[in-house]
């Protein structure tokens, strides 16, 4: 009796075997009364395939696998009685040219800790979940309702958020350690989601998890698959969503990995002009092969359906969409129409996004796409790629270019801060200040800021307030919430000792206040993708480098007015136009002493401001406010 049936072969060959991870790989089962493990692997051009491991003393010839019917599919299978959970194994593939290839299982659910490379038999189906309330609420969300939810993401590299001091090993926090420490921190700060970098198994720490060898295995650096499931479960019980970085764009050439898996270009394009990234030294998946597409689709579905993950942030989407991405003339092959679009990758995205969001209401697919490719979040019916969200890289570049400037020169670059709203309705956006912006000599967020130390902090406070008020969901990389001074490195934990310095503690408190303001006020998230939720009061005060705008809720209640100054000049009576004759209640003030501000009992600003019939900014009504240097004032009305 075969585990991998003719129907399995058919579905796999159509790229529609959505439970492929329950068939391929190594699975405990009982056949004809004998308990053991059934091994299945796809190696279509192999001459022979053997399974080797602890169970047979790594004997290379004792356990030859057989091709299942139809043999043209290239799936090999062998049931081995007596094999137990925890047993290490590999596939020995004899290529047609006689080479011996020792490969980890592409579908393995668990792997040895690097630098070792064997796969490990496990069972990921037995975890006892207790996140029913979260999962049921997620399933009830329509696609439009997803967009109306708050999303403030804390991007985390698990291996360097915190570490155990003085340990002989790397001192990594385990998944269970993170459940005890990261979750309370994220919850207290006010984030809605955690995004985890580098969870799929990978061999090289310095790749941060973006060069994957195990697309079906949570990395063993931080524990077992069950430990990872525990972390997700605890996040959900604490009403925190979990997003994983997922890398279907490319894979490394490590000998035990996917590259030339059966001695030929199995998972990658055969033509190196299509199958290799010259800049990255990696292989590109062949999106024209159904079995390869099914491999990737199965991985995505496993994370979302088996591990209850709430969404995937798809890395390097642009490199998949463009055949000439990172390549010179002669290094790439045009498509059948002579263009530079990868038509197979486009169809892959339409397929996988429609499938995942259709099968899993309330989940999200997020594109890290750095170009002006149209309709990334558009529907398939409108020839879009059907992602839920797109990282707004344009906003990020303009924002950072502006924030780095000496305040004297900001008046000439005012449009860098206003431009993103002109195209805001074209996609569903997430505003991102990610790990990529604080590595490779780009400086930490704090040290991007101009001026002396005090000015750096005030600049960054104003920048974070602008980000939180602007349309779009939010993402901030770990450590930047308390103004990490050094660039991030995966080799050490964050500089938590900085919180002993009041300036850094004030920054953390400021970001916390912004996050709680965001979560408590639907005007900041329920109408992110339309002008109905945003209105400039004054987008043109470039001489003073001050921005004022209103965020509006659907019901017209509890709207917020933001006034943000990006110069070190105090304005004793800054007058700003307002939408009507309301009372404007000051709910966030950067001059408050709890954030390191200079207000005292004697100089404290009033908490309420009645609109006066004094025309300003093209409005009939306005309020006057004493705006401090780099001042931020948020009013509710």
Check whether residue 39 and residue 84 sit in a common domain.
yes
Residue range 136-161, pLDDT digits in tens: 999 999 989 999 999 999 999 999 99
Give which of 347, 420, 404 is closest to 380, Cα–Cα: 347
The CA–CA distances, whole Å, from 284 to 211, 278, 485, 585 equal 11, 10, 36, 55
87, 54 in Cβ contact below 8 A? yes
Query: Is 406 domain-assigned?
Result: no
Give which of 83, 86, 81, 84 is closest to 33, Cα–Cα: 81
Coil vs helix vs strand at 417: helix
d(CA 205, CA 33): 43
Check whether residue 116 and residue 163 sit in a common domain.
no
Query: Is 539 domain-assigned?
Result: yes
Query: Is 22 domain-assigned?
Result: yes
| Structural domains in the chain (count) | 3
Check whether residue 65 and residue 209 sit in a common domain.
no
pLDDT band at 168 (very low <50, low <70, confident <90, very high): confident
DSSP state of 320: H
DSSP state of 303: I
Check whether residue 116 and residue 154 sit in a common domain.
no
d(CA 224, CA 226): 5
Q: Which residues pair with 584 in a beta bridge?
A: 609
Q: What are phi and psi of 126, to 5 degrees?
A: -105, 5
Coil vs helix vs strand at 539: coil
For the record, the structure tokens of 602 come out as 């004697």
Q: Of the candidates 360, 391, 422, which is a domain's last residue?
A: 391
pLDDT, residue 180, reads: 98
SS3 content of the chain, % helix, strand, coil (to 5): 30, 25, 45
Residue range 297-354, pLDDT digits in tens: 999 999 999 999 999 999 999 999 999 999 999 999 999 999 999 999 999 999 999 9
DSSP state of 64: B
The pLDDT of 370-379, averaged and rounded, is: 96
d(CA 148, CA 141): 10
Check whether residue 286 and residue 358 sit in a common domain.
yes
pLDDT, residue 170, reads: 87
**Residue 613 CB contacts under 8 Å (≥ 6 apart), including other chains:** 581, 620, 621
Check whether residue 46 and residue 174 sit in a common domain.
no
Check whether residue 116 and residue 157 sit in a common domain.
no
| pLDDT exceeds 80 at position 178 | yes
The pLDDT of 555-572, averaged and rounded, is: 95
Helix or strand (DSSP H, E) at 461: helix 453-469
Supply the CATH number for residue 558's domain.
2.60.40.1180
Domain range for 69 is: 6-120
Check whether residue 217 and residue 76 sit in a common domain.
no
Token look-up 């307030």 returns 465
Query: Is 271 domain-assigned?
Result: yes
Rounded (5°) CA angle 443-489-214: 130
Helix or strand (DSSP H, E) at 8: helix 6-13
For the record, the structure tokens of 231 come out as 């972390």
Supply the CATH number for residue 206's domain.
3.20.20.80
φ/ψ bin of 84: left (φ > 0), alpha (ψ from -120 to 50), beta (otherwise): beta
**Which burial class, exposed, middle or buried, applies to 472 when counting CB atoms under 10 A from its CB (0-12, 13-18, 19+)?**
buried
Check whether residue 172 and residue 112 sit in a common domain.
no
pLDDT band at 171 (very low <50, low <70, confident <90, very high): very high
Helix or strand (DSSP H, E) at 608: strand 608-610
Supply the CATH number for residue 92's domain.
2.60.40.10
pLDDT, residue 359, reads: 97
Residue range 184-206, pLDDT digits in tens: 999 999 999 999 999 999 999 99
Query: Is 278 domain-assigned?
Result: yes
DSSP string, 255-283: TTSSTTTTSS-SSB-SSHHHHEETTTTEE
Check whether residue 280 and residue 208 sit in a common domain.
yes
Residue range 407-461, pLDDT digits in tens: 999 999 999 999 999 999 999 999 999 999 999 999 999 999 999 989 999 999 9
pLDDT, residue 1, reads: 67
Q: Of the candidates 104, 120, 136, which is a domain's last residue?
A: 120
Residue range 20-79, pLDDT digits in tens: 999 999 999 999 899 999 999 999 999 999 999 999 999 999 999 999 988 889 999 999
| pLDDT exceeds 80 at position 603 | no
The average confidence (pLDDT) of the chain is 96
Query: Is 405 domain-assigned?
Result: no
DSSP state of 606: P
Query: Is 325 domain-assigned?
Result: yes
Residues above pLDDT 90, as percent of the chain: 95
465, 424 in Cβ contact below 8 A? no
Helix or strand (DSSP H, E) at 403: helix 393-403
Residue range 224-269, pLDDT digits in tens: 999 999 999 999 999 999 999 999 999 999 999 999 999 999 999 9
Q: Which of 12-26, 177-191, 589-603 has the lowest mean pLDDT?
A: 589-603
Residues 388/394/397/399 CA torsion (nearest 10 deg): -90
Q: Report residue 280 CA to chain centroid gap.
A: 20
| Omega before 211 within 30 of 0, i.e. cis | no
**Which burial class, exposed, middle or buried, applies to 470 when counting CB atoms under 10 A from its CB (0-12, 13-18, 19+)?**
buried
DSSP string, 128-194: ----HHHHHHHHT--HHHHHTS--EEEEE-TTTS-B-TT-SS--BPPHHHHHHHHHHHHHHHT-SEE
d(CA 473, CA 533): 13
d(CA 518, CA 637): 15
| pLDDT exceeds 90 at position 393 | yes
Look up 368 and say whether it is catalytic: yes
Check whether residue 185 and residue 279 sit in a common domain.
yes
d(CA 411, CA 399): 14
Check whether residue 65 and residue 173 sit in a common domain.
no
d(CA 133, CA 363): 15
296, 215 in Cβ contact below 8 A? yes
pLDDT band at 604 (very low <50, low <70, confident <90, very high): confident
| pLDDT exceeds 80 at position 9 | yes
The CA–CA distances, whole Å, from 161 to 118, 178, 336 equal 27, 9, 47
Q: Of the candidates 391, 417, 436, which is a domain's last residue?
A: 391
Query: Is 13 domain-assigned?
Result: yes
């Amino acid at each position: 009796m075969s585990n991998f049936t003719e129907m399995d072969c058919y579905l796999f060959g159509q790229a529609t075997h959505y439970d492929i991870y329950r068939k391929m790989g190594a699975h405990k089962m009982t056949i004809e009364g004998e308990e053991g493990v059934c091994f299945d692997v796809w190696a279509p051009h192999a001459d022979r395939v053997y399974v080797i491991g602890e169970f047979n003393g790594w004997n290379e010839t004792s356990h030859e696998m057989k091709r299942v019917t139809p043999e043209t599919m290239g799936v090999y299978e062998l049931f081995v009685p007596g094999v137990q959970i925890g047993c290490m194994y590999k596939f020995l593939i004899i290529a047609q040219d006689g080479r011996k290839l020792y490969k980890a299982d592409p579908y393995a659910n668990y792997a040895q800790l690097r630098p070792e490379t064997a796969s490990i038999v496990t069972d990921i189906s037995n975890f006892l979940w207790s996140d029913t309330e979260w999962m049921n609420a997620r399933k009830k969300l329509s696609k439009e309702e997803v967009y109306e939810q708050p999303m403030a993401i804390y991007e985390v590299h698990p291996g360097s958020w915190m570490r155990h001091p003085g340990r002989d090993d790397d001192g990594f926090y385990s998944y269970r350690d993170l459940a005890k420490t990261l979750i309370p921190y994220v919850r207290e700060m006010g984030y809605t989601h955690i995004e985890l970098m580098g969870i799929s198994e990978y061999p090289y720490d310095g790749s941060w998890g973006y060069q994957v060898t195990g697309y079906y295995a949570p990395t063993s650096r931080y524990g077992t698959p069950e430990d990872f499931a525990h972390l997700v479960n605890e996040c959900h019980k604490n009403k925190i969503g979990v997003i994983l970085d997922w890398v279907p764009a490319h894979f490394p050439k490590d000998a035990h990995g996917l590259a030339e898996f059966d001695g030929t270009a199995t998972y990658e394009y055969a033509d190196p002009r299509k199958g290799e990234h010259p800049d990255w030294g990696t292989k590109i998946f062949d999106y024209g092969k159904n079995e390869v597409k099914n491999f990737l689709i199965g991985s995505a579905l496993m994370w979302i359906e088996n591990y209850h993950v709430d969404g995937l942030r798809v890395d390097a989407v642009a490199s998949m969409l463009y055949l000439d991405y990172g390549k010179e003339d002669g290094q790439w092959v045009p498509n059948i129409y002579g263009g530079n679009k990868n038509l197979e990758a486009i169809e892959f995205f339409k397929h996988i996004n429609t499938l995942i969001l259709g099968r899993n209401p309330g989940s999200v697919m997020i594109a890290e796409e750095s170009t002006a490719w149209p309709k990334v979040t558009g529907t398939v019916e409108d020839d879009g790629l059907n992602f839920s969200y797109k990282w707004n890289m344009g906003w990020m570049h303009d924002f950072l270019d502006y924030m780095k400037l000496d305040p004297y020169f900001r008046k000439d670059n005012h449009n860098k801060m206003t431009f993103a709203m002109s195209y805001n309705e074209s996609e569903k956006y997430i505003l991102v200040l990610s790990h990529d912006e604080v590595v490779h000599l780009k400086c930490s967020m704090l040290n991007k800021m101009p001026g002396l130390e005090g000015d750096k902090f005030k600049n960054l406070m104003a920048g974070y307030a602008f980000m939180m008020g602007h349309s779009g969901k939010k993402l901030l990389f770990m450590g930047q919430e308390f103004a990490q001074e050094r660039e991030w490195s995966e080799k050490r934990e964050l500089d938590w000792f900085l919180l002993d310095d009041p300036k850094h503690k004030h920054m953390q408190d400021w970001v916390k206040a912004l996050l709680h303001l965001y979560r408590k006020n639907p005007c900041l998230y329920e109408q992110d993708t339309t002008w109905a939720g945003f209105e400039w009061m004054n987008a043109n005060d470039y001489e003073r480098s001050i921005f004022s705008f209103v965020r509006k809720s659907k019901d017209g209640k509890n709207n917020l007015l933001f006034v943000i100054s990006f110069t070190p000049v105090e304005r004793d009576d800054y007058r700003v136009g307002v939408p009507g004759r309301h009372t404007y209640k000051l709910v966030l003030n950067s001059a408050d002493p709890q954030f390191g501000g200079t207000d005292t009992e004697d100089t404290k600003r009033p908490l309420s401001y009645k609109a006066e019939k004094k025309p300003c900014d093209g409005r009939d009504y306005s309020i006057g406010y004493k705006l401090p240097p780099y001042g931020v004032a948020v009013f509710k009305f």
